[in-house]
Amino acid sequence: MKLETKSYKEYFPIGSPELRSPVTVPKQVKRTLPGCIALVVLLFLLSSTYSRGSSLWKSRVPKFPRKIWQTWKVDPLGFEEKDSNVAKTWLHKNPDYRYEVLTDLNDLAYVETNFGPSGLNRLDIVYMYRELTARIIKADLLRYMVMYVEGGVYTDIDVEALKPITNFIPERWDERDVDMVVGIEIDQPEFRNHSVLGQKCESFCQWTFMCKPGLPVMLSLIENIMQWLKNVATEQKVPISEIQLDFDQVIGGTGPSAFTRAILADISHRTGKKVTWDTFHNLAESKLVGGLLVLNVEAFAAGQGHSDSGNHDTKHALVKHHYHASGWPTAHPRFNHPMYGEVEKCNWVAECVRKWDEDTAAWAALSTEEQNRQIAMKEAMQPPPPPEDIPADFPNAELLPPPPPPPPMEFPPMDFQQAPPPPPPGLM
């Protein structure tokens, strides 16, 4: 059988009206066509973004930068021996990583370079950093700035590396799906409503964490801190350079509590649903939520004596915090009750915290005169301060007599016709 075929000319001969007349597109189609094309392009981009189950806000960087960042007063050549020994553990455990320390002398140059006109052109950030004088606030801010611009691993100067950074992401996770790695620091949600411990009882660790560059959460954190600093300065009616902050204000404004709030808000935004601390409570193994990989408390904060933090001998322990560079509370003191001291010394032991709460509540009911009397009694019972050290080169120091004993304590005579006053709360 022979099939007959015809050319298009036989169907539409040259000169026919079909070839002479242009195709007419309805006006309504012309108006909607650009929108349809844009919608198709958007759907294509969204399908590409979600193709691997990730969120719309996923980092475009597939791998974490192989770089370790630290900040300190001086550069590595000026480190004290203890700081040098701890810092070297990061180099020994990660010989293929670059290493850099920002100091009190070059931190501003870094900020001006990366956030000034030749960088991100965020002059508001540069001006704010220039004005700050509180070292701990600048230290917190600087780590967030570095992680936003550069990414990599940030770790405090007094944190020892126990295992290589490659262990930060367990084998079951794909590095391309992870934008940030943090660990639990404090997991004591039962104190959520406590007047002092409440804002500190649920927090991620920020003395060590890992980021990919350009994460919105880091910039949001920086901007949140800027607004908080402005509010504090307004409340205190002073410039930012003169604000006074206590321990809890630092923790809540720039430290672990601020860090944690920003992260929870970010992953809530990423996933499209409210993510709370309950998602990470009693975490036994690592958990990936919205690009955030959360490690259990043993990873970065083992051996704390609370939060089921275990010890540094387990396979989960990746770093060890020595706390020898944590002297900043001297300039930003904790809440210290005049009679019962700091509730943090309870180290999250429920019975101790309950007793502190009861004692301080009973104290508040006492008269001012009785409070002063009990404080005087407490001070009288304190041992005398130790003598000041005598310089080793003092002539014949070994022949000097020992310091005199403290004078005997004198008590006012008791009137035995009256019942003695009750003991202060907590001393019964």
| pLDDT score recorded for residue 14 | 41
Quick one: 109 and 237 in the same domain?
A: yes
Confidence of residue 48 (pLDDT cuts 50, 70, 90): very low
42-51, 70-79, 246-255: lowest mean pLDDT where?
A: 42-51
**Cα dihedral sign, 352-355-357-359:** negative
Quick one: 303 and 174 in the same domain?
A: yes
Instruction: Count structural domains, the chain.
Output: 3
Q: Does the structure show a pLDDT above 60 at 15?
A: no
Quick one: 44 and 91 in the same domain?
A: no
Look up the CATH number of the domain holding residue 236. 3.90.550
| Within a domain: 385 | no
Mean pLDDT is highest, among 8-17, 20-29, 170-179, for 170-179
Entry pTM: 0.77
The percentage of the chain sitting over the pLDDT mark of 70, rounded to a whole number, equals 76
Q: Does the structure show a pLDDT above 90 at 203?
A: yes
| Within a domain: 389 | no
Task: Give 271 or 389, the one with higher predicted confidence.
Answer: 271
| pLDDT score recorded for residue 293 | 99
Q: What is the pLDDT of residues 357-383, one digit of tens each?
A: 999 999 999 999 999 999 999 998 888
| pLDDT score recorded for residue 245 | 96
| Within a domain: 58 | no
Choose the final residue of a domain: 272, 307, 330.
Answer: 330
The percentage of the chain sitting over the pLDDT mark of 90, rounded to a whole number, equals 72
Q: What is the pLDDT of residues 217-262, one digit of tens each?
A: 999 999 999 999 999 999 999 999 999 999 999 999 999 999 999 9
Contacts with 386 (C-beta within 8 Å, 6 or more apart), sequence order = none
Within a 10 A sphere around the Cβ of 233, how many other Cβ atoms?
16
| pLDDT score recorded for residue 2 | 44
Q: Does the structure show a pLDDT above 70 at 58?
A: no
Q: Does the structure show a pLDDT above 80 at 193?
A: yes
Mean pLDDT of the chain: 85
Q: Does the structure show a pLDDT above 60 at 113?
A: yes
Quick one: 165 and 254 in the same domain?
A: yes
CB 183 within 8 A of CB 295: yes
The burial of 183, by beta-carbon neighbours within 10 Å (0-12 exposed, 13-18 middle, 19 or more buried), is given as buried
Choose the final residue of a domain: 315, 345, 368.
Answer: 368
The burial of 131, by beta-carbon neighbours within 10 Å (0-12 exposed, 13-18 middle, 19 or more buried), is given as middle
Mean pLDDT score, 275-297:
97
| pLDDT score recorded for residue 327 | 78
Q: What is the pLDDT of residues 146-169, one digit of tens each?
A: 999 999 999 999 999 999 999 999
Quick one: 257 and 178 in the same domain?
A: yes
| pLDDT score recorded for residue 402 | 58
| pLDDT score recorded for residue 33 | 61
Mean pLDDT is highest, among 49-63, 167-181, 311-325, for 167-181
Quick one: 207 and 99 in the same domain?
A: yes
Mean pLDDT score, 401-406:
58
| Within a domain: 119 | yes
| pLDDT score recorded for residue 328 | 85
| Within a domain: 141 | yes
Half-sphere exposure of residue 187: CA atoms within 13 angstroms, side-chain side: 24
Quick one: 31 and 154 in the same domain?
A: no
Quick one: 74 and 191 in the same domain?
A: yes
Q: Does the structure show a pLDDT above 80 at 20?
A: no
Quick one: 22 and 164 in the same domain?
A: no
Confidence of residue 61 (pLDDT cuts 50, 70, 90): confident
The C-alpha atoms of residue 143 and residue 169 are separated, in whole angstroms, by 21
| Within a domain: 417 | no
The C-alpha atoms of residue 269 and residue 359 are separated, in whole angstroms, by 43
Quick one: 124 and 182 in the same domain?
A: yes
Quick one: 113 and 221 in the same domain?
A: yes
Confidence of residue 102 (pLDDT cuts 50, 70, 90): very high
| pLDDT score recorded for residue 422 | 54
| pLDDT score recorded for residue 331 | 87
Distances (CA, A) of 33 to 26, 30, 331, 355, 393: 11, 5, 65, 72, 91
Give strand pairing partners of 295: 183
Q: Tokens in use for 188?
A: 């004591």
**Exposure letters 55-68 (e unless 16+ CB within 10 A, then b):** bebbbeeeebbebb
Quick one: 342 and 319 in the same domain?
A: no
Confidence of residue 16 (pLDDT cuts 50, 70, 90): very low
| Within a domain: 360 | yes
40-54, 78-92, 360-374: lowest mean pLDDT where?
A: 40-54
| Within a domain: 428 | no
Short-list 83, 106, 221, 226, CA closest to 155: 83
Task: Give 22 or 344, the one with higher predicted confidence.
Answer: 344
Q: Does the structure show a pLDDT above 60 at 66?
A: yes
Q: Tokens in use for 27?
A: 């006006």
| pLDDT score recorded for residue 330 | 86
Mean pLDDT score, 285-301:
98
Domain region containing 166:
67-330
Confidence of residue 387 (pLDDT cuts 50, 70, 90): low
135-149 and 216-236 are packed helices; what angle lies between their axes, rounded to 10 degrees?
Answer: 160
Confidence of residue 389 (pLDDT cuts 50, 70, 90): low
